[in-house]
Amino acid sequence: MVNEADITRAAEIVAKAKNLVAFSGAGVSAESGIPTFRDPGGIWDRFDPDEVGTTGGIFSAAARKPEAIRSFLSETVETFEKARPNPGHFALAELERMNILRSVITQNIDDLHFQAGNTRVLEVHGNLYRQRCLACNKKTKLTKEKYLSKARSVLIEAKEFDLSNLLTLMPTCECGSSMRPDVVMFGEAVQVVPESIQEASTCDVMLILGTSGVVYPAASLPRYARGSGAKIIDINPREHPFADMSDVVISEKTGVALPRILEEVKKIRGE
Ligand code: APR
Ligand code: ZN
């Protein structure tokens, strides 16, 4: 049961915010059916990050044990096909429409903040549907349907699967070279870091939503916010890695807590 006093305290802070920024992790998409990484039974419990979390790992595993990679990639396709924004995503989109939320900084690659209606989303780990050319670096965003239908045909419907099939998954850039998903794998450069540090350092309230706070440099962003005097609200049903710097800690799912906070904010603001 959500703690109503915490919801009220959070809503009082959010209602007065001049520059609210949300910092989200995989937990925000858990209620959309996308498994998190570090919860019990999460992705890193079932797949080896050294294999599926790096491009080299994926290609070498596809050559050595294609069926293992096929099952990881097929699970991703099926999960993302079904995934829709949940009430937590929609509450953030409404806070942007109310001109309270300035931006979302997300570690997620699932595009769900955009699909819910947020327009200012900084994706520090990239976006699965955006493709990046390996030669000219041009970025092209495919529709979710276009990207996943091709992935389904190569990974799930095809009888055979090996490295050569995996390579057919890579779209071709106008320059003729192959493109890959514009997502940040382990050991690769994180994206939009300066912009995210700027956002975190100039907000007056930060919502920390569904993250274990263990992956840097993303996990340093709440410290930038705190260091600039922002109030911090951490929403997470299981752990609170930023409890030491939080003004309010809510042990609840974001899909439950955020709509309740939004409801209270509207009451406070008479909207
Ligand atoms: N609502 C809010 N939080 C939730 C929910 C929920 N419904 N369900 C789970 N959580 C919390 C968990 O308690 C956990 O603290 O979400 C957090 C998810 O943590 P991780 O799985 O570690 O995900 P994240 O913090 O986003 O990981 C950061 O690690 O592997 C890399 O690139 C990957 O972007 C990812 C990064
Ligand atoms: Zn190109």
The catalytically annotated residue of 89, 113, 125, 240 is: 125
* 62 compared with 257, residue with greater pLDDT: 257
Q: Say how many Å lie between the CA of residue 210 and the centre of ligand 1.
A: 5
Mean pLDDT of 133-159: 92
**158 pLDDT more than 90:** no
State the ligand closest to the CA atom of 222: 1
Interatomic CA distance for residues 36 and 220, integer angstroms: 20
How many structural domains does the chain have?
A: 2
Residue 126 φ/ψ region, left for φ over 0, alpha for ψ in the -120 to 50 degree band, beta for the rest: left
H/E segment holding residue 206: strand 205-209
Same-domain status, 135 and 246: no
Q: Is 82 in the pocket of ligand 1 (CB under 6 A)?
A: no
**223 pLDDT more than 90:** yes
- Of 191, 156, 188, 149, residue with least CA distance to 171: 149
Same-domain status, 220 and 260: yes
Residue-level pLDDT at 197: 98
- Of 133, 156, 113, 117, residue with least CA distance to 26: 113
* Residue partners of 89: CB distance under 8 A and separation at least 6: 28, 29, 32, 112, 113, 115, 116, 118
Residue 178, SS3 per DSSP: strand
Q: List, as one string, the DSSP characters of 97-125.
A: HTT-EEEEEE---S-HHHHHT---EEETT
Residue-level pLDDT at 68: 87
Q: Is 24 in the pocket of ligand 1 (CB under 6 A)?
A: no
Interatomic CA distance for residues 77 and 222, integer angstroms: 31
Same-domain status, 103 and 196: yes
Provide the 8-state DSSP code for 162: S
At 2, the pLDDT band (50, 70, 90 cuts) reads confident
Q: Is 242 in the pocket of ligand 1 (CB under 6 A)?
A: no
Q: Is 212 in the pocket of ligand 1 (CB under 6 A)?
A: yes
Residue-level pLDDT at 160: 85
**Average pLDDT for the chain:** 95
Residue-level pLDDT at 217: 94
- Of 184, 104, 108, 110, residue with least CA distance to 144: 110
Range of the structural domain that residue 148 is part of: 35-82+128-183
Same-domain status, 95 and 116: yes
At 266, the pLDDT band (50, 70, 90 cuts) reads very high
H/E segment holding residue 222: helix 221-227
- Ligand 1 atom nearest the C-alpha of 37 is 21
Mean pLDDT of 105-122: 98
At 244, the pLDDT band (50, 70, 90 cuts) reads very high
Mean pLDDT of 8-19: 98
Q: Is 125 a catalytic residue?
A: yes
The CATH number covering residue 250 comes to 3.40.50.1220
The pLDDT tens digits of the residues spanning 180-209 come to: 999 999 999 999 999 999 999 999 999 999
Same-domain status, 96 and 163: no
Mean pLDDT of 23-48: 96
Same-domain status, 133 and 65: yes
User: Which pairing describes strands 179-183 and 205-209: parallel, antiparallel, or unpaired?
Assistant: unpaired
The CATH number covering residue 54 comes to 3.30.1600.10
Residue-level pLDDT at 210: 98
At 176, the pLDDT band (50, 70, 90 cuts) reads very high
Lowest-confidence segment of 7-16, 101-110, 143-152, 248-257 by average pLDDT: 143-152
Same-domain status, 226 and 240: yes
At 164, the pLDDT band (50, 70, 90 cuts) reads confident
Residue 127 φ/ψ region, left for φ over 0, alpha for ψ in the -120 to 50 degree band, beta for the rest: beta
Same-domain status, 174 and 259: no
Residue closest via CA to ligand 1's atom 4 equals 27
The predicted model scores a pTM of 0.97
